[in-house]
């Protein structure tokens, strides 16, 4: 039998999440939670490698896709690991996961209160010493090209309407959570159409 191709092994994993794997911040034996998993593109490798993977998404179709993926790549995992839930109301206990992935999710917040509720829900289930990885839309580097609709809801040149953060807001939440930044906040501008920011936090041990 031939070895799996890179695409088969890693799926459509976010390149910045892949970077966390290369830095050995995600390793065997860790419990991984994908908060807002979509169809599971970021957990293909983790399932293949036998990680203890959990995932939530408010969309039943997305969770069904992840359950199907897991049944093929990691059939020993219980289907109950994959739940139809919003990230702000997850049913997992406090300090549950070693790593929480929240990729392209937080910019779907309705407003400041919803964003904070989502973030608090994620932080609650993260263990002390655990890693939080997120990618989300921002105004960073696109300040003159996005148009404010109301509050932090903006229209971007790519035609999307999203809740967009800036560096000050991320720094304020990092401080509020008492978190550490293992990497600096990084932003990619996609052809002057949108800005995507990578925000990685380490939860301090009390």
Give the domain CATH number at 97. 3.40.50.150
Domain membership flag for residue 91: yes
CA 122 to CA 172: how far, in whole Å? 17
Domain membership flag for residue 132: yes
* Banded pLDDT at 7 (limits 50, 70, 90): confident
Mean pLDDT value of segment 26-42:
97
Average pLDDT, rounded, for the chain: 96
Domain membership flag for residue 156: yes
* Banded pLDDT at 8 (limits 50, 70, 90): confident
Domain membership flag for residue 90: yes
% of the chain beyond a pLDDT of 90: 94
Strand stretches in the chain, DSSP E: 31-35, 52-57, 82-84, 97-103, 126-138, 147-150, 153-155, 161-163, 186-190, 194-202
- Quick: pLDDT tens for 105-163: 999 999 999 999 999 999 999 999 999 999 999 999 999 999 999 999 999 999 999 99
Taking 70 as the threshold, does the pLDDT of residue 1 lie above it?
Answer: no
Residue 47: which of 97, 94, 100, 8 has the closest Cα?
A: 8
Domain membership flag for residue 93: yes
CA 191 to CA 195: how far, in whole Å? 9
Domain membership flag for residue 168: yes
Instruction: Please give the pLDDT value at position 206.
Output: 78
Q: Check residue 102 and report its DSSP letter.
A: E
Domain membership flag for residue 52: yes
Mean pLDDT value of segment 24-37:
96
- Quick: pLDDT tens for 90-114: 999 999 999 999 999 999 999 999 9
- Quick: pLDDT tens for 175-197: 999 999 999 999 999 999 999 99
Q: How far is C-alpha 176 from the geometric centre of its chain's CA atoms? A: 19
Mean pLDDT value of segment 160-168:
98
Residue 195: which of 152, 149, 158, 150 has the closest Cα?
A: 158
CA end-to-end distance (rounded Å), the chain: 48
Taking 80 as the threshold, does the pLDDT of residue 2 lie above it?
Answer: no
Domain membership flag for residue 1: no
Neighbour order of strands in the sheet with 153-155: 147-150, 153-155, 161-163
State how far the alpha carbon of 38 is from the alpha carbons of 27, 113, 148, 168, 183, in Å: 22, 23, 27, 28, 25
Say how many domains are in the chain: 1
User: 35: domain range?
Assistant: 6-202
């Amino acid at each position: 039998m031939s070895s799996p191709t890179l695409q088969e092994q890693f799926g459509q994993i976010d390149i910045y999440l892949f970077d966390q794997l290369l830095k050995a911040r995600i390793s065997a034996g860790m419990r991984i939670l994908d908060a807002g998993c979509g169809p599971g593109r970021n957990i293909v490798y983790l399932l293949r490698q036998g990680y203890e993977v959990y995932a939530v998404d408010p969309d039943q179709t997305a969770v069904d896709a992840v359950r199907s993926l897991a049944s093929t790549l990691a059939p020993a995992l219980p289907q109950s690991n994959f739940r139809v839930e919003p990230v702000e109301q997850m049913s997992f206990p406090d300090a549950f996961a070693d790593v929480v992935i929240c990729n392209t999710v937080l910019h779907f917040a309705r407003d400041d209160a919803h964003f904070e509720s989502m973030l608090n829900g994620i932080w609650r289930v993260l263990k002390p010493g655990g890693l939080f990885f997120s990618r989300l839309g921002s105004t960073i580097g696109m300040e003159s090209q996005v148009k404010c609709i109301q509050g932090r809801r903006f229209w971007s040149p790519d035609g999307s309407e999203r809740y967009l953060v800036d560096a000050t807001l991320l720094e304020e939440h990092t401080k509020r959570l008492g978190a550490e930044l293992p990497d600096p906040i990084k932003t990619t501008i996609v052809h002057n159409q949108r800005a995507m920011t990578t925000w990685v936090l380490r939860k301090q041990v009390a």
